[in-house]
């Protein structure tokens, strides 16, 4: 909105940092850990300003040249590219805060992130490997049915394993599911930092959930339970460790990468959506990432795919004249 009147602040940038952190807490409702991180990631910028005798620099005096010099300073440190990016993202958030508060300064998009050569290698399985994993459990017994349902739900929703183990049985109404065989199901989960989001179960996942729940003969409130131990008086809710071990077991059995974890399935879910052309913002919603930067780790997976799409559909062949 260009009609906003931006005002010049006469308070130095470094003096705005504590108000920015309060804003993150009160207005944006960010988790304590996130706020601590912002604080930590902004301190190198503060130190750099001090060293450059720019401690009194006002928001509207911050120039592209300052940003460039700071980036240069970071790149000459022996920090990993990903860490440098965290510092830059924090600075970008500070500039976004200035914009939000109508304080004249550089627009946040003037801060470009470092190209991440040493970036996280995303561990994901191609669709045929995912299928191998999903088909691995022996569905003749109830523990196998439970495992199949867990794997199907993980791949259908992209849930974090901690979110999956916390699902309650009363979030799934069997009668309703049985009567609406080809309906999909929405579940609300509480993600990191207590943020609720909606995830969606595919027909396939619902099919295996029904099969598993029909075989349950207990009244435990947890959706996924430990089958072995019937002696537990409190809930037999399955542990995240059990799910990790279960996935390792099936991967060994099927000759799949032994590095596969529940998170690999979450990555595979996101990668599959990307390859079908779903945009990052939407995937960010599905995964419950608070920050699009977290979602951006997927972009390298599909940049080749996007290039091929561009070549196929937008190579200029439909334009008539040279």
Q: Which of 39, 81, 192, 211 is catalytic?
A: 192
Taking alpha carbons only, the member of 130, 91, 129, 128 closest to residue 111 is: 91
Question: What SS3 class is residue 199?
Answer: strand
In Å, how far are 143, 163, 223, 320 from 239, measured between CA atoms? 14, 11, 12, 62
Burial group, residue 222, by CB count within 10 angstroms (0-12, 13-18, 19+):
middle
Q: Catalytic: 148?
A: no
Catalytic residue (one of 86, 266, 267, 269): 266
Can 266 be counted among the known catalytic residues? yes
- Check if the beta carbon of residue 271 is closer than 8 Å to that of residue 122: yes
Q: Which of 71, 146, 148, 289 is catalytic?
A: 289
Give the phi and the psi of residue 207 in degrees, each rounded to 5: -55, -45
Determine if residue 159 is left, alpha or beta; phi over 0 gives left, psi from -120 to 50 gives alpha, anything else beta. Answer: beta
Does the active-site annotation cover 200?
Answer: no
**Residue 190: enclosing H or E segment and its boundaries?**
strand 185-190
Residue 142 host element (H or E) = helix 142-157
DSSP string, 44-72: HHHHHHHHTT-TT--GGG--HHHHHHHHH
Tokens matching residue 168 = 């309650």
Range 89-118 burial, b when 16+ CB lie within 10 A, else e? bbbbbbbbbbeebebbbbebeebebbeeee
Catalytic-residue membership of 298: yes
Task: Establish whether 192 is a catalytic residue.
Answer: yes
CA-to-CA distance for 75 and 81, rounded, in angstroms? Answer: 8
Of the residues 160, 236, 250, 269, only one is catalytic, namely: 160
Catalytic-role residue among 110, 263, 290, 305: 263
In the annotation, is 314 catalytic?
no
Catalytic site positions: 160, 192, 263, 266, 289, 298
């Amino acid at each position: 909105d260009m009609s906003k009147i931006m005002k010049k602040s006469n308070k130095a940038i470094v003096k705005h940092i504590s108000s920015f952190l309060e804003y993150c807490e009160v207005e944006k409702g960010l988790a304590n850990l996130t706020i601590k991180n912002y604080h930590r990631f902004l301190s190198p910028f503060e130190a750099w300003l001090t060293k450059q005798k720019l401690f009194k620099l006002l928001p509207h005096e911050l120039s592209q040249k300052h940003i460039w010099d700071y980036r240069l300073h970071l790149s000459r440190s022996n920090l990993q590219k990903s860490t440098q990016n965290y510092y830059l993202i924090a600075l970008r958030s500070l500039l976004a805060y200035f914009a939000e508060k109508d304080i004249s300064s550089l627009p946040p998009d003037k801060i470009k992130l470092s190209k991440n050569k040493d970036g996280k290698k995303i561990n994901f399985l191609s669709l045929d490997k995912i299928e191998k994993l999903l088909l691995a459990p022996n569905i003749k017994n109830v523990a196998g049915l439970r495992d199949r349902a867990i794997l199907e739900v993980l791949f259908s929703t992209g849930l974090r394993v901690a979110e999956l183990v916390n699902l309650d049985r009363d979030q799934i109404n069997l009668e309703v599911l049985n009567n609406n065989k080809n309906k999909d199901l929405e579940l609300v989960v509480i993600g990191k930092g207590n943020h609720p989001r909606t995830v969606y179960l595919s027909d396939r996942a619902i099919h295996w959930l029904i099969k598993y729940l029909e075989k349950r003969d207990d009244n435990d409130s947890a959706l996924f339970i430990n089958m072995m131990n019937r002696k537990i008086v409190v809930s037999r809710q399955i542990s995240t460790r059990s799910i990790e071990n279960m996935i390792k077991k099936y991967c060994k059995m099927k000759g799949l990468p032994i590095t596969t974890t529940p998170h690999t399935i979450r990555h595979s879910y996101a990668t599959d959506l990307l390859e079908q052309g779903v945009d990052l913002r939407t995937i960010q919603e599905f995964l419950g990432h608070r920050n699009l930067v977290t979602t951006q780790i997927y972009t390298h997976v599909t940049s080749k795919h996007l290039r091929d799409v561009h070549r196929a559909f937008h190579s200029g062949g439909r334009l008539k004249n040279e």
